Amino acid sequence: MAGVQLEKGFIKRLAAAPSNVADLFHHGSDVYRQLVIPSQVSLEQVAAHYAITSLFDTYSREQRVYCYAIHQADYQMQRLGSLTLAVGQIQLTSEMTRETSQMVFAVLHLGGWDFHCCVQPFTGRRAYSQSKESLFNALRQASAAQTILAMNRIFGGQSFSLQDLFAEERHRIMRLLSQETLTRLDQLYTQVYRDNYGVLMAFHRDQLEVPQELQVAAEIAISHRAIASLQALERETSDFPFNNPQLCQSHLLELEAIAQEADHLHCQLKMPQIQQTLERLIGRSLWSLLQTFEPNAFEPNPFEPNPFEPNAFEPATVEAGIRWLERLIELGDRLHLSLSLDRTQELYINHWYRQVIPQLEAWTASTRSPKKLPLTQKATLEKHWTLTQVRQFLELGQKLAIDVNHWLNQLS
């Protein structure tokens, strides 16, 4: 910005530094020319990044893209069939070098992964208005070829595509675009599965080898139903006790039916999202249950990004909560998932040593000499679970693969 050219002198100094990778580079200046210069990001690239991502995000007048401040002076977007064209004028400022430039861009999305983006310096309001009018006139012909020709005529030959985006945003947009395709494929597989359900059952009933195409369609369709039901269940159980217990039970019954259906058709549900969601749901449910008795003893819920304050439990709700957890764990077994419940087990054991063992010791002491029982132990007995609830809690520990046999034998 000061008009002083420092790069030539800098490269000359680098040339005096020998490389420690002689097979690839002779000296430091080679490293700079081959690795550093190609990785530099120009203001044109930043403008192209802004232009393409603007098709997926609603940008305000002032926007920050990594270390660049961007002021939007004008922006217009129009969709026509599968084509989307956006034209805009922005001012970019590097927060590192304070370099500033006014740019004009046009980006055409042809659908799918195809983007054609052009950028040039802003040369005046009149030229910009004429360019914008010419581009939108070309789009109205519903011809991608005519629109691209108009863009190249106005902006020159250089263009940018999805590959020129910064990696993080490129991956995000790739996922968004892929989701549309996956949704269509899911609908297609589901239709194939529904249309051929009787055929599939006949093959399995007669113990014949099922055509791979039909088996894959069944596994994908059932997997997507399972994850949709699990996500719905997770939303409904964000508060404990549940606001709508009938709906929660309905979702769980549907998942149990899905597990049975998958078993009948020998389907392997391999979507990692199913396992992760169920693990999170089990851990969050246990955390909520234990918070009733030790509201200040635990860190914020490790299974929930936004911790909540659970409502108070009545005794019947405690028992229902334990049974609910057991059914979730059994669901994982029925879906043949290798659930990773280490964090849930740690949560259980922490509460066991902090609350349940002292309570059991208090009960043991009360049976020996109830009149001499200290007031603190009497308070412990009155405050926490009944013997029936503790036994249920121990049986839950067995479901979590925790060895609690010693204590269960004492309660027998």
Q: Residue-wise pLDDT tens for the chain (412 aa)?
A: 455 667 677 777 777 777 776 666 777 777 767 666 655 667 888 899 999 999 988 888 898 888 889 999 999 999 998 899 999 999 999 888 788 899 999 999 998 889 999 999 999 999 999 999 999 999 998 889 999 999 999 998 788 988 888 778 888 888 888 887 888 888 999 999 999 999 999 998 898 999 999 999 999 999 999 999 998 988 887 765 556 778 888 999 999 999 999 999 998 887 788 899 999 999 988 888 887 655 444 455 555 544 333 333 444 577 888 888 999 999 999 988 888 999 999 998 888 888 777 777 766 666 655 444 444 444 444 455 677 778 888 888 888 988 888 877 877 6
Q: Give the per-residue pLDDT at 39.
A: 56
Q: Report yes or no: 186 and 220 within 8 Å, Cβ to Cβ.
A: yes
Question: Token match 């922006």: residue?
Answer: 75
User: Amino acid identity of 258?
Assistant: I
Q: Which residue has the tokens 């208005």?
A: 129
Structure token digits, residue 28: 């430091």
What the block records as the tokens of 294 is 């030790």
Q: Residue 282: name the closest of 223, 241, 226, 322 by CA.
A: 322
Distance CA(215)–CA(129), nearest Å, equals 57
- Cβ-contact 315, 389 below 8 angstroms: yes
For residue 241, whether the previous peptide bond is cis, meaning omega lies within 30 degrees of 0, is yes
Report the C-alpha gap between 287 and 289 in whole angstroms: 5
- SS3 state at 78: strand
What is the model's pLDDT at position 243? 60
Alpha-carbon distance of 191 to 178, in angstroms, equals 20
Q: Which pTM was predicted?
A: 0.61
In whole angstroms, give the CA distance from residue 351 to residue 297. Answer: 9
Q: What is the pLDDT of residue 393?
A: 84
Please tell me the distance from the alpha carbon of residue 279 to that of residue 343, in angstroms, as a whole number. 9
pLDDT, residue 383, reads 53
Beta bridge mates, 84 = 79, 109
**Calpha distance 390→395 (Å, rounded):** 9
User: Which residues on neighbouring strands pair with residue 114, listed in sequence order?
Assistant: 111
The answer to whether residues 288 and 234 touch, using CB atoms and an 8 Å cutoff, is: no
Between the CA of residue 18 and those of 10, 32, 118, what are the distances in Å?
15, 12, 40
Q: Which residues pair with 109 in a beta bridge?
A: 84, 115
Which residues fall within 8 angstroms of residue 374, CB to CB, at 6 or more apart? none
Residue 311: what pLDDT?
39
